[in-house]
Chains A and B, each alone.
Chain A
Amino acid sequence: EIVLTQSPGTLALSPGERATLSCRASQRVNTITLGWYQLKPGQVPRLLIYGASNRATGIPDRFSGSGSGTDFTLTISRLEPEDFAVYYCKVYDAAYSFGQGTRLEVK
């Protein structure tokens, strides 16, 4: 089973700033299986990015994903107030694995 390690654990930024979230896999992954999800308290997970770099339907273009092999990145170009949440990467390799999450909080 692939282990995903997200960093940082917590990221404190201000609205308008750029956020860069990292997801590192314990072994090479199939890029098409790498996704990113946003989770806010009291809400359901929201798909942001699939196939490492494809924005899901309705996701603003300030969200972008990149990476390959073992290293992947979610970038939010200019933070909006509604973007402060916990972000998870997910991958499939015989089973689905989630990273432990990055909490994006207001500085």
Chain B
Amino acid sequence: QVLLVQSGAEVKKPGASVKVSCKASGYTFADYLIHWVRQAPGQGLEWVGVVNPNNGDVDYPQKFRGRVTMTRDTSTTTVYMEVSSLGSEDTAVYYCSRERGATYFFDHWGQGTLVTVSS
């Protein structure tokens, strides 16, 4: 079955970076975009960006450009999201999810990774 399995919880200090992984299985890796969405405590969902596993193309909303980097490793069918210059406002659960190209919906989600930024 389709699985997106994320790496475990992280605790980081302000100004540090964090790298979260999302391993995909159960489907053809290259056929689906991988998005990252986050939910801060008590807040709603926020789109962080997308990576195309087929060619590595990425797109980030303006808010995260220069601070978020998404990459993929086709040999291990794993996608990575790195967030740099962490602040307390980055404390959130980060989810990866997949979209079949240009269908605009995310049908499977990872279990979420809690990133806590605290001094």
Chain A residues at the B interface, C-beta cutoff of 8 Å: 1, 32-33, 35, 37, 39, 44-47, 50-51, 56-57, 88, 90, 92, 95-101
Contact = CB atoms under 8 A, between A and B. Distances in A.
Contacts of B46: 98
Q: Which of B37, B47, B105 has the largest count of A CB atoms less than 10 A from its CB?
A: B105
Contacts of B45: 37, 39, 45, 88, 90, 98, 101
Nearest to B106: A47
B95 A32 contact: no
A44 B44 contact: no
Given A37-B45, A39-B39, A101-B44, 12 more contacts: A1-B61, A1-B62, A35-B106, A39-B45, A47-B105, A51-B105, A56-B107, A95-B47, A95-B59, A98-B37, A98-B45, A100-B44
Contacts of B103: 50
A72 to B, nearest CB: 14
A100 B103 CA distance: 22
Contacts of A37: 45, 106
B38 to A, nearest CB: 11
Contacts of A51: 104-105
Contact of A98 (B44, B110, B112): B44
A97 B112 contact: no
Interface in B6-47: 35, 37, 39, 44-47
B111 interface: yes
Contacts of A95: 47, 59, 61-62
